[in-house]
Amino acid sequence: MTLLSGKSQTLLTMTFSLASLSVLAAATANAQQAGVVEEMVVIGARDSHTVRTDDVMVAPADTAELLKKMPGANVNRNGELTGVAQYRGMHGDRVNVTINGAHISSGGPNAMDAPLHYAPVAALESLTISRGITPVSAGQETIGGHLEAVTYRGEFGDSSEFEWGGRSYFGAQSVNEGLVGSIFLSLANRNHLIRGFVMTEQADDSDFGGGTIRPSEYQRDRYDLGYSYRTGDHEVSIDFTRNDTGNAGTAALPMDIQLVDSDLIRGRYVWDNPDLKITAEVSMNDIGHWMSNYHLRTPPADGARYRRTYTASDNSGFSLVAERPVDNGTWKAGVDGHYSNHIALIQNPNNRLFFIDNFKDAERNVTGVFLERNLSLSETTGLDIGIRFNQVRSDSTRVAANLNPMNLPAGGPFMMNAMANNIARLFNDQDRSKTDNNTDWFARFSIDPGYDVIWYAGAARKTRSPSYQERYLWLPAESTGGLADGKTYVGNPGLTPEVAHEIEVGFDLDRGRLSLYPRAFIKQVDDFIQGTPSDSPLINTYAQMMANMGMGMGAPLVFSNVEARYTGFDLESRFNLTDQFDLRAVASIVRGERRDIDDNLYRIAPDNLIVAVDYRGNNWSGSLESVSYARQDKVSATNLEETTPGYTIINLSTSIRPTTRTELGAGINNLLDKTYRDHLGAYNRALNPDIAMRERLPGLGRSVYARFMMYF
């Protein structure tokens, strides 16, 4: 039910924005009346975890694999370049991901180009996860957390003279004969910064202990060009990025990537002085994406089952944020927006008259405003609070299909086409225009009682409106944002937004040689969006007929609002054994369950533990790492999810710096060549002599890798 008219909603957004900025202005005026703002230490707990590629040996091309090194995080692996972020059990659109501050919506309906696809490891400077309760300023919909990927952008110089800077990166790995090469160059002085980046990478199919995953090859090129200007308190930047992904296998999905071509333009302005900081950002992104079920994997035996799909996504976004320091902390207020349009057209290359409007001008537009406060309540206590309002509008135009291109008067194609057109008519007759008005808030309290410990407690209310797939997938299909369970789904325009209430507690201990950061949490989600069995005779009959033809599975699921709960515990820790040796551990435990029926949620990471010994010398470092995953038997019956046994793999890495400007590193992942099944690896959808159809995909075998970096 829409509570407000379009004009009223716009007025409410503007009113909230003006109110937020008025509070900020009042805080500014009070601070100015008080004179110079005193410097005060704000008590706060560790609220993020960052991995820097210069400091960590990295083998895979997919940046999402780095999430496995972070507490509470993991990756749903659908292909070598198709990692979907997971945090504390939530994954996909529920995890807010930004690249250099820009939010990117995938070009395809199955997230083959998940957001981290646009931040390759060879271009990456750092990957940061907001740990636990996420501030409302971090993003619009952060019900499942927030990730920020930052690529190399260079630095200004210290004088008026221009100087060259940069980094070259070359890497190789044996598991798929993968190669990557990139070079970043900058020309800068104190006022001007010109930068450019070029990368190319490719690999063959990946090996595992019992054979080869086919198809899993990939190729990707990337080009960046940017300019920044700085004077006084002002800095302005503009950047252009082109990402060209060629053939890339995604054995867990019904099709493979033929190409993903994207152009991203970002602009940024910062005015930063001691009294006030203003940050304005704008971005635009166009993605064109082709995929097929025959060009990399074994094609169907029947030419009528060949499929080729063209998808496109147009994205634009902006943010305007003001931040003001005051005598006991900071105020922050902002307004932001992200607007996207998606199409997906399924065709048969053997018959140009066959088509399905998988999605047609499916829009999802989000406009938000927020107000946030960070303050010291006393010398030993701190508080972070914030509130956000998001308005989410979605719509879709009318859809159609032609499954009987030969215009047969009877038979299977005639019946299938008749049913598809009836389903299209029912979809087109619905009210497809939806508006959600969502409110988020968060609060984090920290106390420092001494003894090198900071105690932490947080609570939040977070919301998420349905994705365009969940609302507008009108014909039973597997276009599900990368769920990769092999089931066919149908969308539901009548879905209501998810609402999560979360509580988190923990502490930060930094005492002598020991650092320990544990967190425990519980998150209760009302109106959680999950596939449930369809009760539509028309939908069920159509899906069963498709299954009888060898395309998809019968018993389709329809996206529905249910009740869910996540509970868990995660920690990161380090102990200095000596001046040169550290003992490091990262542990993650999460449970995901339905509250309305006795079932578990789908694709939840098993309990896992990393224990490593790290060595740091003058110009040499190394790490011996044990990665263990427990048996996962808490699986979803609704999604026909299979259990997986536990396993442990050993990784070894080392790096040496012959000079201050060069680094040579090498390592071995899965040192003992363990054969195992990755619970988050989904199921095989391609004919393969080494892996049965719909069998869970294996983890990668032993891989020897190396990299060389040079800094200019």
Q: What's the pLDDT tens digit per position in 657-677?
A: 999 999 999 999 999 999 999
- Residue 687 clears pLDDT 70, i.e. is over it: yes
Q: Which residues contact 435 (CB under 8 A, 6 or more apart)?
A: 2, 4, 6, 9, 391, 392, 393
Looking at residues 283-298, what average pLDDT do you find?
97
**Residue whose structure tokens are 């993020």:** 48
DSSP 596-624: SSS-BPSSPPPPEEEEEEEEE-SSEEEEE
Weakest-pLDDT range from 50-59, 68-77, 519-528: 50-59
Query: Helix count (H) and strand count (E) of the chain?
Result: 4, 34
pLDDT band of residue 24 (cuts 50, 70, 90) is very low
Cα separation, 582 vs 598, whole angstroms: 44
Q: How far apart are CA 686 and CA 252, in angstroms?
A: 8
CATH code of the domain occupying 6-396+432-711: 2.40.170.20
Q: Would you place residue 43 in the very low, low, confident or very high pLDDT band (cuts 50, 70, 90)? A: low
CA dihedral 545, 548, 549, 555 (to 10 degrees): 60
> Residue for token digits 């200007």?
229
CB burial of 485-519 (b: ≥16 within 10 Å; e: otherwise) equals bbbbbbbbbebebbbbebebbbbbbeeeeebbbbb
What is the pLDDT, as a whole number, of residue 378? 92
Q: At what angle do helices 412-428 and 537-548 cross, to 10 degrees?
A: 140
| pLDDT in the model for residue 29 | 40
Q: Is pLDDT above 90 for 39?
A: no
Evaluate if residue 689 carries a pLDDT over 80.
yes
User: Residue 433 has what pLDDT?
Assistant: 97
Strand residues in 542-646 grouped as ranges (E): 557-576, 581-594, 608-616, 620-629
Mean pLDDT of 569-581: 96
**pLDDT of 5 above 60:** no
Length of the chain: 712
Where residue 31 falls among pLDDT bands split at 50, 70, 90? very low
For residue 500, pLDDT beyond 50:
yes
pLDDT for the residue numbered 327: 87
Neighbours of 30 (CB within 10 A): 11
State how far the Cα of 571 lies from the Cα of 519, in Å rounded to an integer. Answer: 6
* Confidence at residue 340, expressed as pLDDT on a 0 to 100 scale: 98
Q: Using the predicted structure, report yes or no on whether residue 646 has a pLDDT greater than 60.
A: yes
**Tokens at residue 90, please?**
């939530």
3-state helix, strand, coil in the chain (%, to 5): 10, 55, 35
Q: Pick 712 or 46 by higher pLDDT.
A: 712
Report the alpha-carbon distance of residue 706 to residue 38 in Å, rounded: 50
Mean pLDDT computed over 516-541: 97
Radius of gyration of the chain (CA): 26
Residue appearing with tokens 């998808």: 311
Residue 61 has pLDDT above 80, yes or no: yes
pLDDT band at 584 (very low <50, low <70, confident <90, very high): very high
Whole-angstrom distance, CA of residue 473 vs CA of residue 346: 13
Closest C-alpha among 118, 468, 114 to residue 265: 118
* Whole-number Cα distances in Å, 102 to 115, 279, 530: 10, 13, 28
Tell me the C-alpha distance between 357 and 481, whole Å.
17
Helix H, strand E, coil C: the string for 323-386 is EEEECCEEEEEEEEEEEEEEEEEEEECCEEEEEEEEEEEEEEEEEEEEEEEEEECCCCEEEEEE
Average pLDDT of every residue of the chain: 92
Check pLDDT > 90 for residue 44: no
For the segment 165-175, the average pLDDT, to the nearest whole number, is: 96
pLDDT surpasses 90 at 277: yes
Average pLDDT value for residue range 67-72: 95
Q: Is the pLDDT of residue 421 over 70?
A: yes
Q: How does residue 42 score in pLDDT terms, banded at 50, 70 and 90?
A: low
Band of residue 36 on the pLDDT scale cut at 50, 70, 90? very low
Measure the CA–CA gap between 484 and 468, rounded to whole angstroms: 17
Judged by average pLDDT, the poorest of 86-90, 356-360, 405-409, 698-702 is 405-409
* 499 and 527 Cβ atoms separated by less than 8 Å: yes
pLDDT tens for residues 216-243? Answer: 999 999 999 999 999 999 999 999 999 9
176-192 average pLDDT score: 97
Residue of higher predicted confidence among 379 and 528: 528
**CA 519 distance to own-chain centroid:** 22
pLDDT digits (tens, 9 = 90+) for 532-558: 999 999 999 999 998 888 777 889 999
Identify the weakest region by mean pLDDT among 22-31, 79-88, 599-608.
22-31
Task: Give dist(CA 309, CA 324) in Å, integer.
Answer: 49
Residue 293: band (very low, low, confident or very high) from pLDDT cuts 50, 70, 90? very high
Q: What is the mean pLDDT of residues 377-383?
A: 93
| For residue 215, cis peptide bond before it (omega within 30 degrees of 0) | yes
